[in-house]
Amino acid sequence: MCVKGAVAAVLIFVLIMPHLVIIYSVLGTEEPGWSHQVREIPVPPRPEGGRVIVVDQSGRGDFRSIGEAVAAAKPGDRVLVNPGVYKESVTVSSKPWLEIVGVDRDSVILDGENRLGNGIYVVFSPHVTVANLTVRNYLGNGIFYVNSDYFRVEGVRAENNRVYGINFLASEKGVVSRVIAYGSGDSGIYVGEVSEQCDCVVEYSEAFNNTLGYSGTRANGVTIRYSHFHDNGIGIAPNTLLPNLRLFLTGRWPLMLWASNNVIEHNLIENNNNRNLRAAGFAASYGIPVGVGIAMIGSHSNVVRNNTIRGHEKWGIAEWYFLVPPASNVYLRNSFAGNGMDYWSDGWGFFRCSGGESATGDVPPPCDLPAPLRLTVPNPLRDLQLLLTVEVPGAAVTWPFLVSALSAALAGGIGYAGMGRKGSSGKLRLRRLLSSLIDLLLVGDLFLLFAAALMVFGFGLTDFSSVTDGIVSFSLLLLPLAYTIVLVAWFAYGLVTESVFGRTLGKWATGLRVSFEGRRPPFLRVLLRNLFRTVDLLLFGALGLLVLLVTGRTVADIVSGVRVERG
One-letter-per-residue 3-state SS of 471-513: HHHHHHHCHHHHHHHHHHHHHHHHHHHHHHCCCCHHHHHHCEE
Mean pLDDT of 313-324: 90
Which spans in 158-251 are helix H? 245-249
Instruction: Indicate the DSSP class of residue 324.
Output: B
Residue 294 dihedral angles phi and psi, to the nearest 5° = -125, 125
Instruction: Indicate the DSSP class of residue 454.
Output: I
The region of weakest confidence among 256-260, 416-420, 437-441 is 416-420
Query: Which pLDDT score, from 0 to 100, does residue 28 have?
Result: 53
- Helix, strand, or coil here: 241? coil
Q: Are strands 120-123 and 141-146 parallel, antiparallel or unpaired?
A: parallel
CA 312, CA 294: separation in Å to the nearest integer? Answer: 10
Query: Which pLDDT score, from 0 to 100, does residue 155 have?
Result: 97
Higher local confidence (pLDDT), 248 or 154: 154
Record the pTM.
0.74
Write b or e for each residue in 528-550: b if 16 or more Cβ atoms lie within 10 A of its Cβ, otherwise e. Answer: bbbebbbebbeeeeeebbebbee
Average confidence score pLDDT of the chain: 82
H or E stretch covering 472: helix 464-477
Amino acid identity, position 419:
M
- Helix, strand, or coil here: 188? strand
CA 491, CA 501: separation in Å to the nearest integer? Answer: 15
- Helix, strand, or coil here: 528? helix
The region of weakest confidence among 29-43, 50-64, 231-245 is 29-43
Quick check: 430 pLDDT over 80?
Answer: no
- Helix, strand, or coil here: 257? coil
Mean pLDDT of 188-215: 92
CA 308, CA 47: separation in Å to the nearest integer? Answer: 43
Q: pLDDT confidence of 164, banded at 50, 70, 90?
A: very high
Residue 262 near residue 239 (C-beta atoms within 8 A): no
Residue-wise pLDDT for 531-551, tens only, equals: 888 777 776 677 777 777 777
Residue 354 near residue 335 (C-beta atoms within 8 A): no
Mean pLDDT of 545-566: 79
Query: Which pLDDT score, from 0 to 100, does residue 29 have?
Result: 52
Distances (CA, A) of 26 to 30, 457, 468, 532: 9, 21, 7, 34
Nearest to 233 by CA among 251, 254, 210, 250: 210
Write b or e for each residue in 21-46: b if 16 or more Cβ atoms lie within 10 A of its Cβ, otherwise e. Answer: ebeebbeebeeeeebebbeebeeeee
Amino acid identity, position 19:
H
Angle ∠(526,529,532) on CA atoms, nearest 5: 150
Quick check: 409 pLDDT over 50?
Answer: no
Residue 294 near residue 255 (C-beta atoms within 8 A): no
Residue 355 near residue 366 (C-beta atoms within 8 A): yes
Query: Which pLDDT score, from 0 to 100, does residue 122 have?
Result: 94
Quick check: 471 pLDDT over 80?
Answer: no
Residue 458 dihedral angles phi and psi, to the nearest 5° = -85, -45
CA 550, CA 432: separation in Å to the nearest integer? Answer: 13
Nearest to 530 by CA among 564, 567, 493, 563: 493
CA 450, CA 471: separation in Å to the nearest integer? Answer: 9
